[in-house]
Structure 1
Amino acid sequence: MTAGVMTTMTQPAPDWLRELAAARAHYEELFGWPVSVQVGQRQLVVALGQTLDAITMPASLGARVHGQLGIAMLTGPVIAHPDSARWTFLTQGATTMPGEIVDGLGNHEVHHAASGEYAVVPTECGGGGWCWIHEPRPHQMLPSAYAVIATARRLCSAAVA
């Protein structure tokens, strides 16, 4: 009696998957971000709540917040969503951030991502409409989530006054 020989045929990974893996390694090595590949969506995501946090708002408010943060030399990475209607600011992790810090900004559609959520990280290969408004830079300290929220709060209250 002879033992059956099991053969498996493997194919190389598709180009888009190799490109995503390379982009993932780039983000992890250059910035130390906990990036994962979402194969089904062909995109990269970064886990939020530890190393990074994210504040999302309408693009019109985001452009004003980004401008004010630039004046204060607190500019950090900003991502435009595929619908071009929203921007996400990547910030330092703020795991002790009280829930009420974004209270009063819900009417302005400003949201702080909960711990354990993910933000899409733009790549040339994955695309899907996600793009950098302001790309991250090596050795650049991310802005505090508190600074982004405080700037949004100030601009929203000035618009009402």
Structure 2
Amino acid sequence: MTTMTQPAPAWLRDLAAARAHYEELFGWPVAVQVGQRQLAVALGQTLDAITMPAALAEQVHAQLGIAMLAGPLIAHPDGGRWTFLTQAATMVSGDIVDGLEGQEVRHAGAGAYTVIPTEAGNGGWHWINEPRPHQMLPSAYAVIATARRLCSTPTAA
């Protein structure tokens, strides 16, 4: 009995190469989600994710940039939400976004995954601010504190 093997499709080889790139360059625990043809990074140990509406995220990103704390930022396919990749919030004694639920700010940590944009992936995920080698990720607390400050001012979105 002989079995015929087919080479992996080009999109899968591209995703595997992108996965290796992220793991080697940034040390992120990245997985290939074959069914969705995308990459996802596990959250909770190396990094976490804070998601919020794009209008608020744009303001938060600008403020973090002024403080030299801007980090990787991902736009969702719907264009209405952006996700900040942050250091893992390991010292959490409760929900760090407590009080921001009305602003649709969400923290994803241990046990969750977030999509990582790739040229090979489909679905419309893309970088607003790409990660850089040796770049320290911003603290989840700095992102939340900035969002909280902006939401408490009368001009917040």
Q: Pick the aligned partner of 1:140 from 135, 138, 146.
A: 135
1:48 maps to what in 2?
43
1:14 maps to what in 2?
9
Instruction: Note the alpha carbon deviations across 1:20-72, whole angstroms, 9 max, x for none.
Output: 00000000000000000000000000000110100000000000000000000
1:39 maps to what in 2?
34
| Structure 1: stretches of 5+ with no match in the other structure | 1-5
Matched, 1:112 2:127: no
Q: Once superposed, what is the RMSD of the aligned Cα atoms?
A: 1.2
Q: What is the deviation of 1:97?
A: 1.7
State the TM-score, normalizing by the size of structure 1. Answer: 0.94
SS of the residue corresponding to residue 23 of structure 1 reads helix
1:96 maps to what in 2?
91
2:121 maps to what in 1?
126
What aligned pairs does 1:42-81 form with structure 2 within 5 A after superposition?
Answer: 42-81=37-76
Q: What is the deviation of 1:160?
A: 7.2
Specify the code of the residue in structure 1 equivalent to 2:30: V
SS of the residue corresponding to residue 45 of structure 1 reads strand
| Structure 2: stretches of 5+ with no match in the other structure | none
What is the identity percentage for the equivalent residue pairs of Structure 1 and Structure 2?
A: 78
Q: Distance in 2 between matches of 1:137 and 1:74?
A: 13
State the TM-score, normalizing by the size of structure 2. Answer: 0.96
Q: Segments of 4+ in structure 1 off by > 4 A?
A: none
Q: Given that residues 57 and 88 in structure 1 are in contact (C-alpha distance below 8 angstroms), is that contact kept between their aligned partners in structure 2?
A: yes
Q: Distance in 2 between matches of 1:114 and 1:52?
A: 8
SS of the residue corresponding to residue 115 of structure 1 reads coil
Q: Given that residues 76 and 90 in structure 1 are in contact (C-alpha distance below 8 angstroms), is that contact kept between their aligned partners in structure 2?
A: yes
Specify the code of the residue in structure 1 equivalent to 2:93: P
Count of residue pairs the alignment pairs up = 156
Q: Distance in 1 between matches of 2:18 and 2:61?
A: 25
Instruction: Note the alpha carbon deviations across 1:103-123, whole angstroms, 9 max, x for none.
Output: 110000001013110000000
